[in-house]
Amino acid sequence: MLVLPNPRGATSELLLAALAEKVHPICFTPPEAPDDPLADEDLHLALYLCYELHYRGLPGVDAEWEWEPTLLHLRRTLEWHFTAGLRAAVPPAAPPVAGGMDLALRAIADGDGAPSLSRHVESEGTLEQVLEFVMHRSAYQLKEADPHSWALPRLTGGPKAALVEIQADEYGGGRPERVHAQLFADAMDALGLDARYGAYVDRVPGVTLATVNLMSLFGLHRRWRGAIVGHLALFEMTSSVPNRRYAGGLRRLGYDGRATGFFDEHVEADAVHENVAAVDLAGGLARQEPALAGDILWGAACLVELEGRWARHLLGAWAQGRSSLRCGVSAELAV
């Protein structure tokens, strides 16, 4: 992240003011639950900043803040509101029949009623819209795979081996230039966007930050290890076709090479990962710890819910002729 973002409400304002100082106890009144805890700007910016302390840190912020108890208390309160919103929107999933995890995950994917953002990008998205899409996605893709890697020390045996197999590809198989986050940065650079980590956090809305916060919530809590596995499994199972469409949309607009490399890579890689993620990772964990089967499916369903909300936000804004960002793509970027 280049600079700290601007606050979006009382909680993020309090947090940003505290982080600008040396580590000290934060005195705060627990924030009330927002009207929409799955998209609230203040909640999700504050939560994103709290989580970022566990990734690459924040500019000018003392690293000791990562484990300050009062900050963790604030984060926990925000997580309660976020989790309550998830539970209200996504009911608990019934555990699948024995050996049927892959089929249960596929049923969740098939039941997704959200409009297809990838079809829009492929067939009719404007350059400005495609640039906005990439800016939204940069909040996660520039640290792709990291939230799911939190699950590694929490798994054993077959599921752990399956996760390592998937993540090894995500991190380029030992080749830095093939790390997926680097491929996304290359695409941003080819499109004339700022590829530096966190460059657009100030411009993406809460509905986008929520999709990233979901992964951090599940990944950072051992109790949600089933949910993060379900999230990753469905992510891998449903990624190949949309990425082919995104690459097609870019080529329709005259881009290729570095601009499409990230998306082309995922067409191939995620097709390979699909069976490993569904059968060996998610199915293996359900066989190993049957009590987690419901969490695995719930994590997958939460992915569908938040990604659907995000897609509706983008497509709804574009249908109304306005930007999906908190401020639109500048004229010079759209050239």
Report the chain's terminal Cα–Cα distance, integer Å: 26
Residue 219 sits in the same domain as residue 329 = yes
The domain boundary residue, chosen from 68, 89, 110: 89
Q: Do residues 149 and 217 both lie within one domain?
A: yes
Q: What's the mean pLDDT when you consider all of the chain?
A: 95
308: closest CA among 162, 35, 114?
A: 114
Question: Closest Cα partner for 304 from 230, 254, 205, 216?
Answer: 230
Q: Phi and psi for 79 in degrees, rounded to 5?
A: -65, -35
Which one of 89, 113, 131 terminates a domain?
A: 89
Phi-psi region of 211 (alpha: psi -120 to 50; beta: other; left: phi over 0): alpha
Is the confidence at residue 278, as pLDDT, over 80?
yes
In a domain, 291, yes or no: yes
d(CA 25, CA 174): 41
* CATH code of the domain covering residue 200: 1.20.910.10
The answer for residues whose C-beta is within 8 angstroms of residue 332's C-beta and 6 or more apart is none
The per-residue pLDDT for range 49-90, each reduced to its tens digit, is 999 999 999 999 999 999 999 999 999 999 999 999 999 999
Structural domain contains residue 95 = no
Q: Which of 67, 89, 111 is the last residue of a domain?
A: 89
Shared-domain flag, residues 22 and 171:
no
Portion of the chain with pLDDT greater than 90, in percent? 90
Q: How many CA atoms lie within 13 A of 263 on its CB side?
A: 26
pLDDT at 335: 37
Task: Report d(CA 237, CA 235) in Å as an integer.
Answer: 6
143 Cβ contact list (under 8 Å, min separation 6): 55, 56, 181, 197
Q: Does residue 131 register a pLDDT over 90?
A: yes
Q: 182 and 114 in one domain?
A: yes
Q: Total domain count for the chain?
A: 2
* 330: Cβ contacts below 8 Å, ≥ 6 apart: none
Tens of pLDDT, residues 154-185? 999 999 999 999 999 999 999 999 999 999 99
Residues 105 and 52 reside in one and the same domain: no
Kindly state the percentage of the chain with pLDDT values over 70.
Answer: 97
Q: Are residues 85 and 202 in the same domain?
A: no
Q: Work out the pLDDT band at 2, boundaries 50, 70, 90.
A: confident
Answer yes or no: is 5 within a domain: no
In sequence order, the 6+-apart residues with CB closer than 8 A to the CB of 335 are none
For residue 50, the number of C-alpha atoms closer than 13 Å in the C-beta half-sphere is: 28
Q: Is residue 206 part of a domain?
A: yes
Q: Which pLDDT score, from 0 to 100, does residue 270 have?
A: 65
If asked whether residues 52 and 181 sit together in one domain, one would say no
Q: Tell me, what's the pLDDT at 97? A: 73
- Is the domain of 69 the same as that of 152? no
The verdict on residue 2 lying in a domain is no
For 155, the domain range is: 101-334
Burial of 314 (0-12, 13-18, 19+ CB in 10 A): buried
Scan for tokens 């499916």, then name that residue: 297
Residue 48 and residue 129 share a domain: no
